[in-house]
Amino acid sequence: MLALNIILYALLGTSLVFAIVELGLSAYVTSISSGTVSNGYYYYDVDPPAIVIFLVFSSVWTILVTIAALVLPWHYGRKGLVSAKLNTVLAAIFVAVYFVTMVFWLACFADLANIVSGYTNIDPYYSAVLAFGVLLWLLFLALVVLTILAMCGVLVSDWAGYHSLRKNKEVGATQTAGPAQDVQMSMPTVVPSDLSSSDAKALHNQPNTQSFSPSEPSPIHSAELSGNSVHHDHRTGPLEISPV
């Protein structure tokens, strides 16, 4: 867990520094590539290559992405607001943004390399812009791979957006099974199916007249304890108690 956190800090911090350097270099290349040029007969305006302008945009984009990727996990982790749903949303956003940034830098350095390959005497600033573009592409490629591995549970991190999605699904399944078990335990007793509706209703409405207190003995038991015998006359019906 700690190792992945350190790697993420290193990759994002390095990307932020390289993006700031690339912004300065690409802005300078844009300025020297544009302006008014004279060929000895007349003046004409020169525009910088479109890829150089896109390099400026990619540098600003990368600075914003790296700052957000550093601040958001720290913010939600400090306040304890990391839930399974929030982690899933942040993980999807991080993978998408890292992938888009990686594609930006791949397009930048590939197009710039194609432009400078036709010149024998190239300005060293172009070479520096190309080198930092390649490094930024590698950094965001590593971020995409690490984020996907963290989502799959191969790597472990406590940053918001880098938790395992498998663990989130297991927690959600456990929380869903809990109420279902409670409902099952609270179901009423089912009346046997062999009873008719009238018998079931009579059984339900029958008063309980044979309840005795555990501390109070029954009349028959009291009679036996007092030495009397109990006789039942089927003809007369009531019970008769006679001395032994």
> Where exactly are the structural domains of the chain?
2-176, 215-244
pLDDT score at 211 = 46
Residue 197 host element (H or E):
helix 197-205
Distance CA 55, CA 51 (A): 6
pLDDT of 223: 42
The whole-number pLDDT of residue 189 equals 46
Residue 16's pLDDT is what?
96
Contact 54, 103 (CB under 8 A): no
Give dist(CA 192, CA 208) in Å, integer. Answer: 20
- Secondary structure (DSSP) of 76-144: HHHHT---HHHHHHHHHHHHHHHHHHHHHHHHHHHHHHHHHTT-SS--HHHHHHHHHHHHHHHHHHHHH
pLDDT at 86: 80
Q: Give the SS3 label for residue 166.
A: helix
* pTM, two decimal places: 0.64
Bridge partners, 229 (sequence order): 242
Beta strand 43-46 with 35-38 is antiparallel
How many whole angstroms separate alpha carbon 172 and alpha carbon 68? 28
Instruction: Give residue 226's identity as a one-letter amino acid code.
Output: S
Residues of the chain with pLDDT under 50: 171-191, 193, 209-215, 218-236, 239-244
pLDDT at 207: 54
Please compute, for residue 124, the number of CA atoms within 13 A of its CA located in the half-sphere on the CB side: 0
Q: What is the pLDDT of residue 153?
A: 81
Long-range residue pairs from 129-133, CB within 8 A, at least 24 positions apart, any chain: 129/22, 129/25, 129/26, 129/29, 129/52, 129/55, 132/18, 132/21, 132/22, 132/25, 133/22, 133/55, 133/105, 133/108, 133/109
**CA-CA-CA-CA torsion for 213, 219, 225, 228, nearest 10 degrees?**
180
β-pairing, 43-46 vs 228-232, is: unpaired
CA-nearest of 88, 69, 52 to 13 is 69
